[in-house]
Amino acid sequence: MGSNKSYDAIIIGAGVIGCATAFELAKRGLKTLNVDALPTSGYGSTSSSCAVIRVHYSTLDGTAFAYDGYFDWKNWADYIGIQDDSGLARFRETGCLVMKTKDNGYLEKIIQNTKALGIPYELWDVEKIKQVLPIYDLKCFAPAKSVDDEAFGLPTGGELGGGVYFPTAGYVTDPQLSAHNLQRAAEANGGAFRFNSEVTSILVKSGRIQGVTLRDGSQFSTPIVVNVAGPHSSKINKLVSADKDMRITTRALRQEVAHIPAPQGFDFENRGLVVSDNDIGVYCRPETGNHILAGSEDPECDPHDWVDADDFSRDFTDQWTTQALRLGQRIPELAIPSRMRGVVDLYDVTEDWLPIYDRSAVDGFYMACGTSGNQFKNAPVAGRLMSALIDYCESGNNHDQVPLQFALGNVDHVLDTSTMSRLREINPESSFSVLG
């Protein structure tokens, strides 16, 4: 049986947000331990993340949160503050083009949010888009359809009138490496990590966290447990009945991302950018080997594949083909290969696709859940937020009644964290998709 060691905080999960939370808590002097069922940090859904860094969100708080994180990625070496033998994650600042459509209100709300925060943006007309992406055809195809719809691929009249370009955007080329960097930074501040280890029970006494037990029998004492278990977060919440008062819950959603070769003669890897295209229901970005990565923006016609996080298929389905062919509407010269390449993995999703960063009904049990699909970019800020939240609650403040007001580190904005509460109502401002 394992020894009974004691820690100030145990973090379940060592993905990018779990590692960022450990780093921020360790910097504050807490003795932390991350426990992860997988072999190394960032091995789960973090490694499958499209790792897009962008600033356009449907809510003002969401936009401010993302813009704050942009500065951490931009100055990653300074933020991490250590050397990592594996090298440092690289942020490719390609910018992001968001197509204006009727369905997204021609981005009026998003422009309003970015203006309020002083985020730079450019209005691109059709001519500018075609100058940057000469492979693009801007015919309208909305609403997005499934491949078996007889109208699939048929233009629906007119063409897109332009888009908004955000220069402070791009993607991280190796998301798993970013988690490893954060792990090393946490370790440099005294944090510990334990891999291939699964938490099987969480000890609670008189409504307060006391410790955890692992599958191998090891027990660790702690007054604080942070659930950052990604697609397994709902299972971890059930271990302590933390879900008993949650109005917003999380579920594991299976997702497919397609990697498709760029058209011959166009260097999308170096000349391409991140594009969010509501008209065809697809976002894309450059991918290594002059490929284009294509993900779904979850249009209504795409079925949601809710699964058990421990029992799901990693095989590609017709959804891969659907995404590839949708992108082919925009890029007529796109050659769809017969061999499917890309990623199949899980998102951890709430009812409104916005995250839960909160305490729970159990004293000492905290949650950073429902983060998949759109929170990779926010990992450093989420780490700071969780550290501040834990400090606030453990100092005796009633966060449920007087929510933490969290001042962002790089942006002049105070976040009302009740927007990230487990007790919130579903946020009607959400896009109810991967866009958050």
Among 296, 331, 350, identify where a domain stops: 350
The Cα 394–Cα 388 span in angstroms is: 10
Same domain as 163, residue 268: yes
pLDDT single digits (tens) 407-420:
999 999 999 999 99
- Write out the DSSP string of 288-333: TTTEEEEEE---TTSPPEEEBTTB---S--HHHHHHHHHHHHH-TT
Same domain as 282, residue 264: yes
State the chain's maximal CA–CA distance in angstroms. Answer: 69
Same domain as 331, residue 187: no
Q: At what angle do helices 175-188 and 379-394 cross, to 10 degrees?
A: 40
| Non-local CB neighbours of 192 within 8 Å, separated by 6+ positions | 7, 31, 32, 33, 34
The Cα 112–Cα 344 span in angstroms is: 35
CA atoms within 13 A on the CB side of 402: 5
The Cα 254–Cα 406 span in angstroms is: 32
Q: At what angle do helices 379-394 and 60-74 cross, to 10 degrees?
A: 110
Count of domains forming the chain: 2
**Residue 231, preceding peptide bond in cis (omega within 30° of 0):** no
Query: How many C-beta atoms lie closer than 10 Å to residue 340's C-beta?
Result: 17
- Tokens 């100030």 locate to 8
Q: Is 433 a member of any domain?
A: no
The Cα 374–Cα 55 span in angstroms is: 11
Instruction: Tell me how long the chain is.
Output: 436
Q: Is 25 a member of any domain?
A: yes
- Closest by CA position to 379, among listed 128, 188, 172: 172
Same domain as 276, residue 413: no
The Cα 15–Cα 61 span in angstroms is: 23
Same domain as 187, residue 119: no
Same domain as 119, residue 57: no
Q: Is 374 a member of any domain?
A: yes
| Non-local CB neighbours of 238 within 8 Å, separated by 6+ positions | none
CATH at 377: 3.50.50.60
The Cα 205–Cα 397 span in angstroms is: 21
CATH at 130: 3.30.9.10
Name the residue range of residue 151's domain.
96-167+252-350
The Cα 333–Cα 294 span in angstroms is: 15
Instruction: Tell me the β-bridge partners of 284.
Output: 275, 294
Same domain as 224, residue 271: no
Query: How many C-beta atoms lie closer than 10 Å to residue 123's C-beta?
Result: 12
Q: Is 430 a member of any domain?
A: no
The Cα 368–Cα 20 span in angstroms is: 11
Q: Is 429 a member of any domain?
A: no
Same domain as 187, residue 311: no
Q: Is 337 a member of any domain?
A: yes
Among 350, 381, 402, identify where a domain stops: 350
Q: Report pLDDT for 429.
A: 84
- Tokens 């359809």 locate to 145
Residues of the chain with pLDDT under 50: 1-2
| Measured CA distances, 200 to 228, 247, 332, 362, 383 (Å) | 15, 25, 51, 17, 24
Q: Is 306 left (phi over 0), alpha (psi -120 to 50) or beta?
A: beta
Same domain as 274, residue 151: yes
Q: Report pLDDT for 50.
A: 95
Identify whether the C-beta of residue 170 lies closer than 8 Å to the C-beta of residue 91: yes
Same domain as 318, residue 262: yes
Among 328, 350, 372, identify where a domain stops: 350
Q: At what angle do helices 16-27 and 175-188 cross, to 10 degrees?
A: 20
- Write out the DSSP string of 22-86: HHHHHHTT--EEEE-SSSSTT-STTTT---EE----SSHHHHHHHHHHHHHHHTHHHHH-S--TT
Q: Is 224 a member of any domain?
A: yes
Q: Is the pTM of this model over 0.95?
A: yes
Same domain as 337, residue 358: no
Q: Report pLDDT for 3.
A: 55
Identify whether the C-beta of residue 124 lies closer than 8 Å to the C-beta of residue 164: yes
Q: Is 186 a member of any domain?
A: yes
- Tokens 């859904």 locate to 45
Same domain as 256, residue 346: yes
